[in-house]
A = this chain, B = another copy of it.
Amino acid sequence: MKPRSTLAAQAHRLAVTRASGSASAGLHAMVLNQIGLSIVQGELAPGDPLPNADDWSAAYGVSRTVLREVIKVLAGKGLIESRTKTGMRVRPRSNWNFLDPDVLAWRYSARVSEADVRELFELRRAIEPMAGALAAERATPDQIAQLEAVLVEMEGVADDGERFAEPDLVFHQMILRMTGNELIGSLAALIETALLMSFRLSNDNPHGHRHSMPLHRDVAGSISGRDATGARQALLALLDQAEEDVRRAIAARSRIQE
């Protein structure tokens, strides 16, 4: 028996996405997002047998070529496996590559729970203070100048919830890059996801982000002054504040929904 209603729902959602023309995406990217979201957000559970290639591509109104490429990409991120005769299946969560930028985005693009926030900040707390300390030791004068410039930019838009997001993101990612460690640099997607989520949650708050500027200044100051432990502590404090903000926003959200 085939899950016809689910397929129909997926096809419909695709039609909507396609019509809205959200991304500059081609068919491939669109279908990839659809299926990726379906899996990561739990609509398709681990172990679930997926429709066979023909039916599935038909349901999305795309060719097998496109679906197949999507399948392979998802398999490359650990979400799916495809074996002859058995068909395609969603792999257990322990095989998913949660640090993949796409998977992160799919997971945190909607309905985040308190547990999701906890996971995110647990990891950030392990990474960013350490990265700050390394940055303080290794950053080139040029990089430090750039960081200061971004800080100034943040000051300029600290009261504008919309425009603050970008320089804030650049600020945090720059610190990761300044470690000179490419593995750490690849965690930029993690920070991006966290900040996007945070800004999405707090966009009802019209009070801007000025309250976080002092701590950002501390971070930049410590790095400029080559103070590794200072940078570590400043980033810890910044993360404490950020997590507190997010938790408040979630609490407010759930209070509204009641």
What residues of chain A have their CB less than 8 Å away from a CB belonging to chain B?
28, 65, 68-69, 72-73, 75-78, 93-94, 96-102, 118-120, 122-123, 125-127, 130, 134, 177, 179, 181-187, 189-190
Contact between B94 and A177, CB atoms less than 8 A apart: yes
Taking a contact as CB atoms under 8 Å apart, the answer to whether B119 and A181 are in contact is yes
Docked CA distance A73–B74 (Å): 8
Residue of B nearest to A68 (CB): B69
The answer to whether B72 and A28 touch across the interface, beta carbons within 8 angstroms, is yes
Residues on the B chain within 8 Å of A98, using CB: 182-183, 185-186
Q: Which residue of B lies closest to A189 (CB)?
A: B97
- Which among B65, B120, B127 is the interface contact of A126 at CB below 8 angstroms? B127
A102 to chain B: closest residue by CB: B76
Given A72-B72, A73-B73, A101-B97, also A123-B183 (CB < 8 A): yes
5 example contacts (A-B, Cβ-Cβ < 8 A) are as follows A99-B186, A118-B181, A123-B183, A126-B127, A183-B190
Sorted nearest first, the 6 A-B pairs with minimum C-beta distance are A98-B186, A73-B76, A126-B130, A69-B72, A99-B186, A119-B181
CB-nearest residue of chain B relative to A131? B126
Which B residues lie within 8 Å of A65 (CB)? Answer: 65, 68
Given known contacts A76-B102, A97-B100, A100-B100, A184 and B123 CB-to-CB distance under 8 angstroms: yes
Give every chain B residue within 8 A of A184 (Cβ-Cβ). Answer: 119, 122-123
Are A99 and B99 in touch, CB under 8 angstroms? yes
A160–chain B nearest beta-carbon distance, Å: 28
Min Cβ gap A85→B in Å is 14
CB-defined contacts of A69 to chain B, threshold 8 Å = 68-69, 72
- A119, B182: Cβ atoms closer than 8 Å: yes
Instruction: Tell me, in angstroms, the Cα distance from A193 to B135 when the chains sit together.
Output: 25
Q: Find chain B residues with CB under 8 A from A99 CB.
A: 97, 99, 183, 186-187
> A72 — which chain B residues lie within 8 A by C-beta?
28, 69, 72-73
Q: Which of A65, A68, A77 has the most CB of B within 10 A?
A: A77
Docked pose: A130 CA to B100 CA in angstroms: 21
Tell me the bound Cα distance from A93 to B123 in angstroms: 23
Q: How far is the CA of A122 from the CA of B182 in the complex (A)?
A: 11
CA of A127 to CA of B124 in the docked complex: distance in angstroms? 10
**CB neighbours of A120 from chain B (8 A):** 183
4 more contacts with CB within 8 A, not counting A94-B185, A98-B185, are: A65-B65, A68-B69, A76-B100, A126-B127
